[in-house]
Amino acid sequence: MKIEDSKSFGTAVKAYRKDQRLTQEKVANYSNVGIRFIVDLEKGKPTCELDKALHVAKMLGIRLDVPMENE
């Protein structure tokens, strides 16, 4: 899945969560964030805190790799 904006990132988070048969509440508890944050993140709210969003993604097993031109 190509991540181009907050909406596509939210869609990826939701897909990974559902693939693992986790509720939004469980992901919130496992990630130590509020359920409202998970709801907003999955909806693609552009003002979600990046650190929290990356923490949730990591907890769900989402890998984010940025190719570097010099590598």
Sketch the domain layout of the chain as residue ranges.
6-60
- 10: CB partners within 8 A, 6+ apart: 41, 42, 43, 44, 45
The region of weakest confidence among 1-5, 24-28, 35-39 is 1-5
Average pLDDT over residues 17-30: 97
pLDDT at 23: 98
Ramachandran class of 32: left when φ > 0, alpha when ψ lies in -120 to 50, beta otherwise: left
Measure the CA–CA gap between 32 and 66, rounded to whole angstroms: 26
Assign domain 6-60 one CATH number from 1.10.260.40, 1.20.120.530, 2.60.40.10, 3.40.50.970: 1.10.260.40
pLDDT at 66: 82
Q: Has residue 71 got a pLDDT over 70? A: no
